[in-house]
Chain A
Amino acid sequence: MNWIWIVLIVLIAGWIVWAFNRLVRYRNRADEGWAQIDVQLRRRYDLIPNLIATVQGYAAHEREVFERVTAARANAEAANGVAGQADAENAVSSGLRQLLAVAENYPELKANENFLALQEELTGTESKIAYARQYYNEQVRLLNTAIESFPSSILARLSHFAPREFFDIDDESRGPVDVSFQGS
């Protein structure tokens, strides 16, 4: 009779090790995903002053747009928490869209090599932000499912695994910034 208990205990212990390691793996991947989002957002912050300086050279009087983007960028850099960051980034994205829409009206600007390079960098960074967000949300979904579903929920509660927040964006800014029509 004893060996049945031994087998049972070994099986349960094995499951605990597996389930715990799975939780750790998802949590680490979610952290990685968040770090990647942060890297890409920072790259975008770095691009904004350059972009504004370049556009200003051709369209100095569009001051309102420049100010809006600059303010949104400062806001986003100071933002806290997943939801707060997402909101602030939405403002940056819509500001940038406006800035590039303004640039559309200046053919000389659109022919500027520096501007074209910045535009490619910005488009690339925007899509990297989107991909990083996609990866992060996927890992958060896996983590949260593991934390909430029985029986791993017991293990998660005992070892203090907390569900994470999704990095959401509003539908308006879901599409990529519309700058890739020419030169791509």
Chain B
Amino acid sequence: MHEQIARNKRKTFLLLFLAVAFTALIGYVIGYLWFSGPAGVVVAVILAIVLSLGSYFYGDRAVLASTHARKVTPQEEPRLHNIVEGLAIAAGIPKPDVYVVPEAAPNAFATGRDPAHSSIAVTQGLLEMMNRVELEGVIGHEMSHILDRDILIGTVVATVVGAAVLMSEIFMRSWFWGGGRGRRDSSGGDTAGAIALILFAVGIVLLIIAPLAGQLIKLSVSRNREYLADAEGVALTRYPPGLISALQKIGSSPAVMRSANNATGHLWLNQPSRVPGEDTSSMEKLFSTHPPIAERIKRLQEM
């Protein structure tokens, strides 16, 4: 387990380094083309610092906000709070914050930067569908992710990929509109041309980077990690049938996730699918981060 934690730390640093280098590159291009000269370096440094500090300190909040998760009190959800607190005691870590995501599909995820700053979010559907031991199985799995520091790397990936997607959309859109205007109004002259060039350059860079993002996610969230969290989760609850039954229910639920996107997909307990009963589209396959549920159940049964 300590080996796993050390490996996660190395991967997180590598990932942050890549993200920072990437951001710096974009910043440099913008700065160079816009102001010309050494200003590019300044813009690059500022952007890189903002992204790395932001994803480290505010990544969890960004992830929670993007899934529309709502913090719940022990009075609102006594059962969920009791279970989270119990498993935190079993794992010997402080109690994570508890969130509920307004989704009908049963699913859950954990986020944060370390066990002292962590949150567990479950969907409304999970709360309604699972009995106590099943819910304990699910929370045990998420608690293991917190314990193994999987959450930091997962959260950083989500923030970085989310930012990349956002940026590429902004650039692509403004390039489109900017280009359109440029053609109509030719008196814009040099500045309009320069801006269009910047946006074009950044857009190209992002186009090249985008497929790599999927690979990064795969690198960071190996399937083994999910198996490991399953195994460690039932080591906490001491009751494999709970998680097995929960996974069975999740696997057979026809509900789809509305707020799931490619940036946060890897964080969830089970790969969120937007197409019920079908995950063969090329995009889904590219971002397939989780082992199939049947295989996870089989491994748990063999324990």
Binding site for B on A (CB under 8 A): 29, 32-33, 36, 40, 117, 120-121, 123-125, 127-128, 130-132, 134-135, 139, 180, 184
Contacts and interface: CB of A to CB of B under 8 A. Distances in A.
A6 B284 CA distance: 59
Contact of B82 (A32, A124, A130, A135): A124
A124 B89 CA distance: 12
B92 A134 contact: no
B275 interface: no
Nearest to B132: A184
A120 B136 CA distance: 14
Interface in B59-105: 78-79, 81-83, 85-87, 89-92
A120 to B, nearest CB: 5
Contacts, number: 49
B215 interface: no
Interface residues of B, number: 17
Given A32-B92, A123-B132, A135-B92, A184 B86 contact: no
B238 A124 contact: no
A124 B92 contact: no
Contacts of B36: none
B86 A131 contact: yes
Contact of A29 (B85, B87, B90, B92): B92
B79 A124 contact: yes
Contacts of B91: 135
A128 B89 CA distance: 7
A108 to B, nearest CB: 22
- The interface centre, meaning the residue of A120, A124, A184 with most chain B CB atoms within 10 A of its CB, is A124
Contacts of A132: 89-90
B248 interface: no
Given A117-B78, A120-B78, A180-B132, A134 B90 contact: yes
Interface in B122-150: 131-132, 136
